[in-house]
Every structure is written in C-alpha cells, then in structure tokens.
Amino acid sequence: MPKFEYKTIEIKSDQGIFKVSIDQENLDKLLNRYGAEGWELTSSTPLSNNGITYRIYFTFKRQL
C-alpha cells in the first residue's frame, strides 16, 4: 500500500481599504515549484468573512 506525506500552506490576501487581492503570478510560481518537487494539490480551502476571502489553505500530498 502506498504511503504519502502531506503539506499545507497558507496564502494571505493583501488587504487595504478598497483592495483584496492575491498575486496570481506569484501563486502560480509557488504552485509550479511544489509540483516540480512532486507535490500534488489535493484541496484548497478559503476562509472568508463578510463575503471577503482573506486566506486560502492549499493541501498537497506526495508519495513517499
């Protein structure tokens, strides 16, 4: 039976008075780096307050 290890990372959005954003280019680079290291994205979980997402948790797995 295969065994896996897991990793969870937290991405925080930039929050200003009128701005809530996540730098998509840097996020793509980060996700591609993990993919190149053999990690597979298994889930993403947003945390929101009053309809505004301020954090996203990404969980990855890779076979040992």
Q: Is the pTM here over 0.75, yes or no?
A: yes
| pLDDT of 12 above 90 | no
Q: 47: which residues sit within 8 A by CB, 6+ positions away?
A: 53, 54, 55, 56, 57
Give residue 54's pLDDT: 81
**Structural domain for 32, as ranges:** 4-63
Share of the chain above pLDDT 90, in %: 56
Q: How many domains does the chain have?
A: 1
Report the first-to-last Cα separation within the chain, whole angstroms. Answer: 11
Q: Under a CB-based contact definition with an 8 Å cutoff, are residues 20 and 3 in contact?
A: no
Contact 62, 8 (CB under 8 A): no
- Find the Cα–Cα–Cα–Cα dihedral 42, 46, 24, 51, rounded to 10°: 150
The tens digit of pLDDT for each residue in 49-62 reads 888 788 889 999 99
